[in-house]
Amino acid sequence: HVQLVESGGGSVRAGGSLRLSCSTSGFTHCRSEMGWHRQAPGKKRELAAMIDYDGTPFYKRSVDGRFIISIDSAKNTVYLQMNSLQVDDTATYYCLRTHFRDEYGGTCGPREDVWGQGTQVTVS
């Protein structure tokens, strides 16, 4: 059973910063990708930032250069440092753990994606 625990959301002024954390438990011996998708009211959920097992990040273009994703494998925790926040960054941010596999690329852990419950980020 995989669980994700999110923290760090809140309200911030435009230009400010927040750091989101997402800690996972369960099947920690399996490799996976972790990161954040976000959903603003009336919009589809979209990728914000992801990071794979070896630390390679991927960012939505609109946040690239402002957001930094990192992972602490020992703590099974992924972080999203959000700088220079803009009003358009306002959304519910959902932690995601996906693409579970073993070190050889084989089956490991759950077959489905695992989502957190979401944490609200409001920029004003």
Question: Structure tokens of 73?
Answer: 């494998």
Query: Where on the phi/psi map is residue 51: left (φ > 0), alpha (ψ -120 to 50), or beta?
Result: beta
Question: Structure tokens of 39?
Answer: 């959903």
DSSP-assigned letters across all residues of 25-91: ES-TTSEEEEEEEEE-TTS--EEEEEE-TT--EEE-TTTBTTEEEEEEGGGTEEEEEE-S--GGG-E
Burial (Cβ within 10 Å: 0-12, 13-18, ≥19) of residue 7: middle
Cα dihedral: 46, 83, 50, 59 (round 10) = 70
pLDDT above 90 as % of the chain = 96
Specify the pLDDT at position 85: 98
Burial (Cβ within 10 Å: 0-12, 13-18, ≥19) of residue 77: middle
Q: Does residue 73 have a pLDDT over 90?
A: no
Tens of pLDDT, residue by residue over 28-70, are: 999 999 999 999 999 999 999 999 988 999 999 999 999 999 9
- Mean local confidence (pLDDT), 67-88: 96
Question: Structure tokens of 49?
Answer: 């930032």
